[in-house]
Amino acid sequence: METRPLFRLTFILFLIILLFTFSWYSLNLPVVSDPSQSSSWLCNSKSRVCAHSGSVLESEIHKPRDHMEDFPHHPLDPLTMREIYKVRTILSTYPPLLPSFPAIHSLSLDEPHKDLVLKWKEGDPLPPRKALVIALLNGQSHVLSVDLDLGLVTSNKINHGSGYPMLTMNDISVAMQVALSHKELNKSTIKRGISLSDLTCVTPSAGWFGPNEEGRRIIKVQCFSNQGTPNFYMRPLEGLTMTVDIDQKEVVKFTDTGGGIPVPKGTDTDYRFKAQKEPPKMKPINPISIEQPFGPSFTVEDGHIVKWANWEFHLKADQRAGIVISRAMISDSETGVPRSVMYKGFSSELFVPYMDPDENWYFKSYMDAGEFGMGATALSLVPLNDCPRHSYYMDGIFVSWDGKPYVQPSIICVFERYAGDISWRHSEIPVNGFNIREARPKVSLVARMAASVGNYDYIFDWEFQADGLIHVAVSLSGMLMVKGTPHQTADQIPNQEAASGPLISENLIGVVHDHFITFHLDMDIDDTNNTFVKVDLVKEETFPGQSPRKSYLKAKRNTAKTEDDARIKLKLYEPSEFHVINPSRRSRLGNPAGYKIVPGGNAASLLDHLDPPQLRSAFTNNQIWVTPFNRNEQWAGGLFTYQSKGDDTLAAWSKSRNRAIENKDIVLWYTLGFHHIPCQEDFPIMPTVSSSFELKPVNFFESNPILKAAPMSEEDLPVCRPATSS
């Protein structure tokens, strides 16, 4: 019997108990100044919280919850474990799925119709609870609606279009087993001097590249050497690719074109801190944390309702989308009455094409949300490193391929951010009779999730500010997907321009690639009747003799009548603002209440529109789309993304229908993008890079809400300093 895991668990529990004991002890004894103890602290008498730097705060440890005791409080609360088990029981007796139980690829809340959610008030009975199930049986994809109150399947539709459901962990496991038992793989690894025990394989999605790949679910398998390093991504067995039929459990194609390409060395590629033998060649950075002597300013009610400052919203984890923000409301700065801003916001799809036509690379054009799931690939966040002190952690309740629920712990954190930024400031010099120094700190609330999709990590931040602004950021981290090469220096490459990327280390090319993230933003400014307005900045020329100026800019408003009017490609020299307004809600000055989307740094897809990856991801052809609300149009890449042709995407819906969108319930879609030309600093790990956009109020408030925000003062905060300082 294996005893090491039990021993490790016992040892970890012992450490936790020891840390808690030490925390209590240090918090309840007077702090003694000892110059030899650089980690001890001195605090003034006004301190309310001043703990030894080694203490562990209760808020930093997410205590495991018994989710079997959960029950829903809000119409948008995710399915509970009990509800999931009930759905499984209903499906197990549903005749069209018998005698065998189907593979479950998705099982989530079938959200109530929007009008029911908007009418619901706290204390009202919940609308009927339903589950939306995507199941695969005998090669057919079923979309089922299950009424939990009735205990019945009320709808069963079979997908007759292209594509398959999101992969399950069982699919990936099957593909791995089939590949690792293939005789040709053993021969190829031995030829490279690699043992099967040192092999780690991954399963890139196959994409879609014509009729030869249709009619069966296929996946690619590629392998790496993990000998001497957990960072196996830096040690590819280049040129070796297997195509596996998942359902038939067989290798349908084996390719090995990597003769003469060595397996790169693993020296200095281990990214774990404990593996770093040499001290860093930099001055050490002392631990840092923000002070919150009264604790966090936010609350999380009933597990999903977040309240902070003037904001309130519903927060949950979704197996496909990851982090989902719903019913975002902000209190009116004059009346304090909550006002609607956004009904629902989430990352709908990602598109990550690699720029290499090689036989072992051309298919790498991932659609991560629809193929693997952003929530499904999110792992537990690391306290104090992923999320600061006083964070609240939220679990995800997801469903495995056999229809049983499981807990993905601590995949979302909520915390307040203060990084020394300024929300507003102004000073007046005394010469005008005023001697004013006024400033307000920028404190915000962040809801965060990080998904580890293979080698890449995606960090999603939804940041709420007291001035009404929502800042949405996506950060990329992790490791590169690299290509093996026989060359060790750049001058050995005969034609560097023909290479798919630069040399980033010996025998490794960093392949050029893109990242696109498309967001579904169901804006409901003060109600559902909204209008999209494009405000163009247009150059006007002055008349002769009118002014010393020759030109100036004017803002010209253009109301979008149909979807065609709202397809936007961002242009630096044709600047515009993009407003979502409620024409029925006016300020005291007569301006319509609205929010505008403010793009940050961005990139556009440059692929040919007829290139198969771009056909499937045509939603990236524009940075902005606007569509009428349709509860069946949530996934920009289509409901069935895996191996899809692109016939059920945002671009397909919008172009074929060109529906009216003026003064309607509308959805704003925004795509932010990255071009990535790798460099040596991306090896063996990548620095985090970010891009973002903002949702900013426009005539929504009567004045700036920050006007009444209080500044900070020394009396509000503890004063702590290292014991060694004087």
Catalytic residues: 368, 456
Q: From CA 78, how far away is CA 499, in angstroms rounded?
A: 47
Residues in the chain: 726
- 449 alpha-carbon distance from chain centroid: 6
Residue 21 DSSP SS3:
helix
What string of DSSP letters covers 337-357?
Answer: -EEEEEEEEEEEEEEEEB---
- For residue 477 the two structure tokens come to 């981290």
Q: From CA 589, how far away is CA 254, in angstroms rounded?
A: 70
Rounded to 5°, the CA angle 562-568-572 comes to: 150
How many helices (DSSP H) and strands (DSSP E) are in the chain? 8, 34
| Strands (E) located in 205-337 | 218-225, 240-245, 250-256, 299-301, 305-308, 311-318, 322-331
Contacts of 490 (CB under 8 A, 6+ apart): 496, 502, 503
Expressed in angstroms, the distance from the first to the final Cα of the chain is 57
The count of other CB atoms within 10 Å of the CB of residue 212 is 6
- For residue 444 the two structure tokens come to 């915000």
Q: From CA 376, how far away is CA 482, in angstroms rounded?
A: 24
Q: Residue with structure tokens 């069946």?
A: 632
Q: Are 393 and 413 in contact (CB under 8 A)?
A: yes
User: Max alpha carbon distance in the chain (Å)?
Assistant: 95
Q: From CA 127, how far away is CA 75, in angstroms rounded?
A: 6
Q: From CA 321, how far away is CA 517, in angstroms rounded?
A: 11
Q: Are 463 and 471 in contact (CB under 8 A)?
A: yes
What string of DSSP letters covers 558-621?
Answer: EE--BGGGG-B---TTS-EEEEEEEEEEE-TTSPEEEEEEEE-S-----S-TTSHHHHHTGGGS
Q: What is the DSSP letter of 274?
A: G
Q: Are 480 and 322 in contact (CB under 8 A)?
A: no
Strand partners, 508: 484, 505
- 150 alpha-carbon distance from chain centroid: 35
Strand-strand pairing, 311-318 and 322-331: antiparallel
Task: Name the nearest CA neighbour of 319 among 378, 366, 367.
Answer: 378
- For residue 408 the two structure tokens come to 């993905």
Q: From CA 250, how far away is CA 243, in angstroms rounded?
A: 9
How far, in Å, are 143, 474, 481, 525, 565 from residue 529 at the CA level? 31, 29, 45, 8, 18
Helices (H), ranges, 29-153 = 81-92, 114-119
What string of DSSP letters covers 468-530?
Answer: S-EEEEEEEEE---EEE-S-SSGGG-S-GGGSSS-EEETTEEE--EEEEEEEEEEE-SSSS-B
Q: Residue with structure tokens 């240090």?
A: 26
How far, in Å, are 117, 582, 586, 666, 684 from residue 525 at the CA level? 16, 6, 11, 10, 46
Q: What is the DSSP letter of 234?
A: G
